[in-house]
Amino acid sequence: MGEIRKMAVAPAIQAGGSLFTPEQLSIIGAVTGPDAKIEMTSFKQLYLEVPAERYEAIKEEFERGGLEVYPTGFATKSLIACQFCKGAEEAGLETARRINQAIAGIETPTPIKIGYAGCALGTSEPLLKDIGIVKMRETFDIYVGGEPKGLKASLAKLLVSGLQEEALIPILTKIINHYKQHAKGKEKFSKFVDRMSLERLKKLAS
């Protein structure tokens, strides 16, 4: 067997949540074969192992079928979005897609999970993510430092509120880049937020 490479595969962000079509599942099954191990991750991506020499060809095949392909490992994960139960327009479906396009797959010291909720119901659990975005009527709030694991699990803290849509991506990019530049080794994002302090990060986002 030749060199194996991992890829992360996800359906497009859409109303109704993370929905695969039967055709997409057929493509995945045909490409990976009957003996493949396919892992469903906690960030709504499937991890697949494919021959390294066929990685780009398989990626193109998946994308033609409407799937999205991302790097695995230490990177920002694709946006973990809600089901847009308030409606695509009211809940900001296109906003979520633009955020995902801007931030997914950025190399980081440890994996970063970013959640998006189209209303205060927060069905995507954004406050349990490293970075959470919540749409509040016509504006957006950003939270940082959620920690869902362990006996010391904690909710993310409010970083900035009342943002217009056009401010979201610049601020998210600033936060991710600041983490990349100042993290100590493989420091978890929640610990980075505690060490840097919320006040310092607020100044960065202002």
Strand order in the sheet with 39-40: 39-40, 46-51, 4-11, 67-70
189 and 119, same domain (yes or no): yes
Mean pLDDT computed over 48-56: 93
Write out the two tokens for 60. 């193109």
* Boundary-marking domain end, from 70, 88, 106: 70
On the question of pLDDT at 6 being above 90, the answer is yes
Residue 48's CATH number = 3.30.70.260
Q: How far apart are CA 176 and CA 182, in angstroms?
A: 10
Three-class DSSP category at 87: coil
88 and 109, same domain (yes or no): yes
Q: Quick one: residue 97, left, alpha or beta (phi over 0 = left, psi -120 to 50 = alpha)?
A: alpha
Average pLDDT, the chain: 95
On the question of pLDDT at 1 being above 80, the answer is no
pLDDT in tens, 93-143: 999 999 999 999 999 999 999 999 999 999 999 999 999 999 999 999 999
> Per mean pLDDT, which range of 15-24, 144-153, 171-180, 192-201 is the poorest?
144-153
pTM: 0.93
66 and 86, same domain (yes or no): no
* Boundary-marking domain end, from 70, 94, 112: 70
pLDDT in tens, 78-101: 999 999 999 999 999 999 999 999
Counting Cα atoms < 13 Å in the Cβ hemisphere of 82 gives 26
19 and 60, same domain (yes or no): yes
What range defines the domain where residue 21 resides? 4-70
Nearest in space to 110 (alpha carbons), one of 43, 10, 200, 37: 43
123 and 197, same domain (yes or no): yes
* Boundary-marking domain end, from 70, 90, 123: 70
